[in-house]
Amino acid sequence: SYTEEEPVAPAPSINEILKPNLSEENNLSENNLSDIDSDIDNILNKIEKEFVRIVGPFGKYIFKKRKEEFFKKDNITKFSVLKFIHSLAEEIPEIKKRDLFIENTKNFLLNL
């Protein structure tokens, strides 16, 4: 007996297959960037808390001033955060406390 087959859509061309889906790409990059931004914000908050813990309440002022000098919002990298940590460490006169601050805050970067 004869059965009628349903029409099948033509196979996509190789160009259609390889062409990136822009909406997927945008979602991925936006999600990754927002995750990285929130990670950076969390790390900077942890660095600030550690700095204030070691230096005292005046550390909030120093941290804020250094942060404004150091970062332009769109070019924060792990390396720039590391340089920022060392810049803050220069404000700590006691060598043991300075070393402790650097050691503790570098660990925050490992989680980024």
Q: Given this model, what pLDDT does residue 71 score?
A: 80
Q: Per-residue pLDDT averaged across 22-26, rounded? A: 45
CB–CB of 69/88 below 8 Å? no
Dihedral-angle region of residue 49 (phi above 0 means left; psi in -120 to 50 means alpha; beta otherwise): alpha
Q: Given this model, what pLDDT does residue 36 score?
A: 59
Determine if the pTM surpasses 0.75.
Answer: no
Q: What is the DSSP letter of 58?
A: T
Q: Given this model, what pLDDT does residue 91 score?
A: 94
| Residue range 39-85, pLDDT digits in tens | 778 888 999 999 999 999 999 999 999 998 888 766 777 788 888 99
